[in-house]
Structure 1
Amino acid sequence: MKKFSIFLLTMIALVGFTSCDHDDDVVFVAQPDSDGIMFTNATAESYTLTAQTSNNIAERFVWNEVDFDAPTTVTYELQGSSDSSFSGFDVIGTTGDNNLGVTVSQLMSLAAEAGLDNDPETEMPNTGDIYFRVRAYAGTDGSNGLNATSEVMSLTVVLPEAAEEGGADELPKIYVTGNFGAASGYAADWSPEAGVPLAASAEGRTDYEGFIYMNVDAPEYKFLPQNTGWDGDYGDAGAENGDYTEELLQDGEVNAGTPDGTGGYFLVKADTENLTYSLTETNWGVIGNATPTGWDSDSDMTYDAENMIWTITLDLTAQEAPDNGIKFRANDAWDLNLGDTGADGTMEFGGENIGVPESGNYTITLDLSNPRMYTYTLTKN
């Protein structure tokens, strides 16, 4: 019995030695799936870039997931360049997800590298193309050689001097700043430079509006005629900070508040001639015969404070506008609803239904961060 045990142990040792001896001959080669990596989001004809909207998300790039057929995580690196050859490029960001937002300020930086200018005194162009691609690699540092790179996508950008006459960037604006800024995805508290813009309906009008997220328990704020200082600021006509009388005052004013004294995502309106203002709390959803619940009820969206968008992923059926499709509405009611009259990618209150080109699972976004230039995306997953 003892001899048999010794023999068995000897055989196990030999097998183990043989296995180790051949480990170096085994080569594992992983490759991305046959489709590689490609952008799946649609883009606008052009993107108008202004300093006032520099913190806004200009575009959200979406791409398919890549499978390297290897037991490792996949990292995606979004790259931007001023030339299509990518002889030089900026890394916009890295993520483990299959999407990444790009801000107006990041596009402006690439526009400057491309030689675009908004100064009418120069001969530099105001409109041009900048370029993006996404690189996927296995792991977190890209050092193991497993990677794939998408084709290049171009975006046409327009600096303010070249913007279409009468466009939203030329609309008169005032700005709102207060104790909510840093907690709500804006740059800072009580900062004129970080003020959230409200836009009037036309030149010479004083009917300003826009959407503002106030993610604090007891918001307080003021309205500024410009985002360079406090001169001429407006507050509430009440007696104590946080009052909400819906009346504006320039001298002897207090900090304005919200209707119930708490935070939320508000449609803000102000009239500096009539000295009035109002806040309406909103929570947004998608409704329509393209959605699973039809016209009977909303599919609720979620607010993404980092990217300043409302978003939802939903199964949609193909529907042709304007008689069918989807709309966005607030608070499960029709008092505030947004559609896209003319299917130009920008929305109007009470606008036409939005069509769905084909059935499938979609990521839907609603961007209300640019006053009176409200936009949306439907990206098929």
Structure 2
Amino acid sequence: MKKFSIFLLTIIAFVGFTSCEHDDDVVFVAQPDVDGIMFLNATAESYTLTSQTSGNIAERFVWNEVDFDAPTTITYELQGSSEAGFSTFDIIGTTGENNMAVKVSQMMALATAAGLDNDPDTDMPNTGEIFFRVRAYAGTDGSNGLNTTSEVMSITVVLPETVEEGPAALPMIYVTGNFATASGYDADWSPEAGVPLAASAEGKTDYEGFIYMNVDQPMYKFLPTNTGWDGDYGDAGDSDGSYTETLKQDGEVNAGTPDGTGGYFYVKANTEALTYSLKETNWGVIGNATPTGWDSDTDMTYDPATKIWSVTLDLTKQDAPDNGIKFRANDEWALNIGDTGADGTMEFNGENISVPEDGNYTITLDLSNPRMYTYTLTKN
């Protein structure tokens, strides 16, 4: 009986061993999430592309996160093309995040490839479409076959000038510091990722722009270029984080904010007068087209991923310049923006903005491109 039992156990062990060997050959293939990938960001009706603003961000594309049901990193590849069929395309960039900024210069390159660069003998703007899509794949090189691609997004672009013969870009300086990563910018203390401020014209030194500093104690410097640290400006104070509103190049310290805390700031700097200032701003919409009229603002919300302020509310039909809406900061008129001439480009103390008809609207305010501030009114 003992011999029989031992023989039986030996057979069971052998069967179990061969079963394990068989199991090792089973391959499980993960499939892409059935919902796929799609763009989530709203887009403007059209994008005006000029060499003057070529270094600015034209749009920040945002998409949903993808789950391949596999223990691996996900890479997103933003692609741009001059044609809807994407027989050829440019890779704008790759990222592990669910958003990516596209500069005016990158859109201009696609527009030129689409044949939209103007005839220098005409003054008419050239309008057409360029196209974007995003591809998500498992891993870092896309070689394992797990991938999904979004539907194509088309956007309308306007070239009001000949690309090769456009006006010179506005002079720029750049701000970099410890706030960048936490605030939706690319990298801390990086000249290449510096946030631009623009002067009013060639030969001017009156730089301005808006910067989000989402850290407890922001510190930063101003750079003449975004290629290195040569000639950087800091504060003339005694210690890092000083805010004396005086710029200094030699023996300077890292500049700070008026009360030492973070926020969304209107930043001005003059490299000839050696002065600078920061004013914290929170933006809202006001006007007789809004539910509260001219009596109070409807607050907007800032999204660090898109660099855009937005609000959704009911509006009534009103015609500018006497009626409509405006944007203003901090519930006061000291800093307000309108649209003189209704050309989609905003000016401080500009005219009211018309509302074409009654309805529920999503309103956006984009202050991320210095001196090229824009807005949208989209009826839902």
Instruction: State the Cα distance separating 1:268 from its structure 2 match.
Output: 0.5
Q: What is the letter of the counterpart of residue 210 of structure 1?
A: G
Q: Does 1:358 align with 2:357?
A: yes
Instruction: State the Cα distance separating 1:185 from its structure 2 match.
Output: 1.0
Report SS of the residue matched to 1:194.
coil
Instruction: State the Cα distance separating 1:172 from its structure 2 match.
Output: 1.1
Q: Which runs of 5+ in 1 are unaligned?
A: 1-38, 62-77, 94-99, 118-125, 136-140
CA separation of 1:362/1:89 partners in 2, compared to 1, >3 Å: closer, same or farther?
farther
Q: What is the letter of the counterpart of residue 172 of structure 2?
A: K
Instruction: State the Cα distance separating 1:301 from its structure 2 match.
Output: 0.3
Q: What is the letter of the counterpart of residue 326 of structure 1?
A: I
Q: Deviations over 1:189-227 (max 9, x none)?
A: 111111111111112111111100001000000011111
Q: Measure the CA separation in 1 of the matches of 2:295 and 2:211.
A: 28
Q: Deviations over 1:342-374 (max 9, x none)?
A: 001011110000001111111111010111111
Aligned to 2:49: 47
Q: Deviations over 1:240-293 (max 9, x none)?
A: 000000111111000000000000000001111111110000000000001111
CA separation of 1:251/1:171 partners in 2, compared to 1, >3 Å: closer, same or farther?
same
Q: Is the 8 A contact 2:60 2:306 kept in 1?
A: no
Q: What is the letter of the counterpart of residue 292 of structure 1?
A: P
CA separation of 1:87/1:159 partners in 2, compared to 1, >3 Å: closer, same or farther?
farther
Q: Deviations over 1:158-204 (max 9, x none)?
A: 79944753xxx721111111001111111111111111111111121
Aligned to 1:250: 249
Report SS of the residue matched to 1:222.
strand
Q: Measure the CA separation in 2 of the matches of 1:306 and 1:163.
A: 33
Q: Does 1:83 align with 2:86?
A: no
Q: Is the 8 A contact 2:171 2:199 kept in 1?
A: yes
CA RMSD of aligned residues (A): 3.7
Q: Deviations over 1:325-349 (max 9, x none)?
A: 0000000000000000000101111
Report SS of the residue matched to 1:186.
coil
CA separation of 1:249/1:134 partners in 2, compared to 1, >3 Å: closer, same or farther?
closer
Aligned to 1:155: 157
Aligned to 1:281: 280
Q: Which runs of 5+ in 2 are unaligned?
A: 1-40, 63-77, 94-98, 118-124, 135-146
Q: Measure the CA separation in 1 of the matches of 2:292 and 2:92.
A: 38
Q: What is the letter of the counterpart of residue 46 of structure 2?
A: A
Instruction: State the Cα distance separating 1:57 from its structure 2 match.
Output: 4.3
Instruction: State the Cα distance separating 1:110 from its structure 2 match.
Output: 3.6
Q: What is the letter of the counterpart of residue 237 of structure 1?
A: A
Q: Measure the CA separation in 2 of the matches of 1:365 and 1:102.
A: 17
Give the length in aligned residue pairs.
304
Q: Deviations over 1:83-135 (max 9, x none)?
A: 24554567999xxxxxx986327635644764889xxxxxxxx9774433889
Q: Is the 8 A contact 1:234 1:249 kept in 2?
A: yes
Q: What is the letter of the counterpart of residue 223 of structure 2?
A: L
CA separation of 1:216/1:102 partners in 2, compared to 1, >3 Å: closer, same or farther?
closer
Instruction: State the Cα distance separating 1:312 from its structure 2 match.
Output: 0.7
Q: Measure the CA separation in 1 of the matches of 2:42 and 2:222.
A: 40
Aligned to 1:107: 107
CA separation of 1:323/1:80 partners in 2, compared to 1, >3 Å: closer, same or farther?
same
Give the TM-score normalised by structure 2: 0.70
Q: Is the 8 A contact 1:47 1:58 kept in 2?
A: no
Q: What is the letter of the counterpart of residue 174 of structure 2?
A: Y
